[in-house]
Amino acid sequence: PDTSDQPAPRSASRAAHGDFGDRPREPVAIVGMGLRLPGQVDTPAAYWRLLRDGRDAVTDVPADRWRPEDFWDPDVQVPGRTVSRWGGFLSDPEHFDAAFFGISRREALRMDPQQRLVLETTQSALDDAGLARHRLAGSDTGVFAGIGHPEYAWINQGHPLLADSFTATGSFPAVAANRVSYVYDLRGPSYTVDAVCSSALLALHLASRSIERGDCAQAIVTGANLTLTPSMFIWFSKLGVMSPDGRCRSFDADASGIVFGEGVVSLVLKPLSAARADGDRVYALLRGSSASQEGRTNGLTAPSREGQEEMLRRAYRDAGIAPHEVRYVEAHGTGTLVGDPIETHALGAVLGAGRAPEDPCWIGSVKSNLGHLGMVAGLAGLAKTALALHHRELPPSLHYERENPRLDLPGQGLRVVDRLTPWPGAGPARAGVTSLSFGGTNVHVVLEEAESVPRRPDPLPAGEPYLLPLSAHTGAALREAAAGLADLARGA
């Protein structure tokens, strides 16, 4: 037969795993991180302590949101009720230092709190990256945001007499990215994506691609998710996926569903060469990623093992890394009876194949600590994994006691991280992060540890005291900044 149009044969090894040869593309570095997460987490150090200590930040619904007893009922069939009264919530999401960003109090009142928190965590990420605000003005910096369910806008719709000239810009999720670009005078691409649960990780995928194409020199990636009303609790209770006891038991035999959570994460990305030239501290490197849709399944919200396998293979082809070189995957891990088995079998088929029993691919899910953070869930998982690479430790996935027998983890070449574990294996530390959407849009990102970057020389003599000037728009903000730096110095 004529085989002239057939691809050239590959070796048996490459045919089994795909072509994962070296790629000439430059990695993208994560050089800054800003966070607001449940459990009073507002710095990377605080996040790492929560993860390392194995803390569960899920609580009862706070009294400033809604009265749980008005909407909670264990009987899922009761109209207008939810089976859950627990979640991972942020404290004081309404507080905002508007003056710092040059925003009037009147405008701030009409801004979705997600927009406010995106600004604050972006500033924290820029501070963490050592990027001065005035040096960003006019720069080719892109802003990519993953945000959805604008509950603040829904609330405003019920009060049309209160609408003013700031209601429109304060309500649209798309303006969150644009507002960051406006405040800092950034000239790169600026947009918000909504793919439900995978939104923020999709934003990171798009930001990385934009840097690679030269659309921007560096990027801010952010995501936010707040739960201001019980609507989402009620909707997903009717969908039959909410945990009735407030615990996310990813991969466990007693897994009973998801727990909702809130959070905001902002990251600063640069090409690795730029990070090295600037002497930046690098948390981790983005080596590759993929985004795909599962297509037609057994239902709109039903996952597909075949679709997830193809997404994973694409990500590792894009990264130029063989899946068996990856030691850990931060899984979506919702703790649902349908989702966990399909996800772990897809991971086993791609990353667990051919592994020796003593060399499994470890898996975990930060949802067991924080709950499912909706739009920003994938970015919270990526921040966790970047910190794990940076510290070369795997923090425990909580509430895992007995393996769900439908998973067959040993047979899949997988193992759950159920305790604090040194980073396994020798060679470069590599990991994957998955974010799956109940609408079928899935993303997987491949990370690698960063080699130590030479820091900028310190012009000040070691051990000698020196003056550190601080400034703020208000006295209270100045005191808070001083307290934050004092905490940083004590932990240095």
Domains and CATH numbers, the chain: 28-448 (3.40.47.10)
Beta bridge partners of 41: 37
- Single out the residue of 227, 240, 249, 272 nearest to residue 87, CA to CA: 227
CA 415 to chain centre: 22
The helix-helix angle for 377-391 and 44-53 (nearest 10°) equals: 80
Residue-wise over 12-24: b if at least 16 C-beta within 10 A, else e? eeeeebbebeeee
Output the pLDDT for position 471. Answer: 77
Q: Read off the tokens for 262.
A: 């809130």
Q: Which two tokens stand for residue 152?
A: 């603040």
Structural tokens at position 270 = 């640069």
Q: Specify the pLDDT at position 476.
A: 82
Establish how many alpha carbons lie within 13 A of residue 428's alpha carbon, considering only the half-sphere containing its beta carbon: 17
At residue 491, the pLDDT reads 60
pLDDT of 461: 66
- In the DSSP assignment, the letter for residue 68 is G
Closest residue by Cα to residue 438 from 299, 270, 245: 299
Please classify residue 282 by burial: count the beta carbons closer than 10 Å to its beta carbon, then call 0-12 exposed, 13-18 middle and 19+ buried.
Answer: buried
Phi, psi at 233, each rounded to 5°: -60, -45
Helical axes 305-319 vs 339-347, angle rounded to 10°: 40
Q: Mapping DSSP to helix (H, G, I), strand (E, B) and coil, where does residue 308 land?
A: helix
pLDDT of residue 266: 98
pTM for the structure as a whole? 0.90
* Other residues' Cβ atoms within 10 Å of the Cβ of residue 390: 19
Token reading at 350: 């791609």
Q: Burial level of 226, CB count in 10 A (0-12/13-18/19+)?
A: buried
The H or E element spanning position 272 is: helix 272-278
**C-beta of residue 327 within 8 angstroms of C-beta of residue 361:** yes
pLDDT tens by residue, 283-299: 999 999 999 988 888 77
- Angle, helix 199-213 to helix 377-391, in steps of 10 degrees: 70
CB atoms within 10 A of CB 459: 5
Specify whether the CB–CB gap between 39 and 57 falls below 8 A: yes
Determine what percent of the chain falls in helix, strand and coil, rounding each to the nearest 5.
Answer: 35, 20, 45
Q: Can you list the residues of the chain whose pLDDT is less than 70?
A: 1-24, 452-462, 488, 491-492
- The position carrying tokens 């396998």 is 309
The SS3 of residue 408 is coil
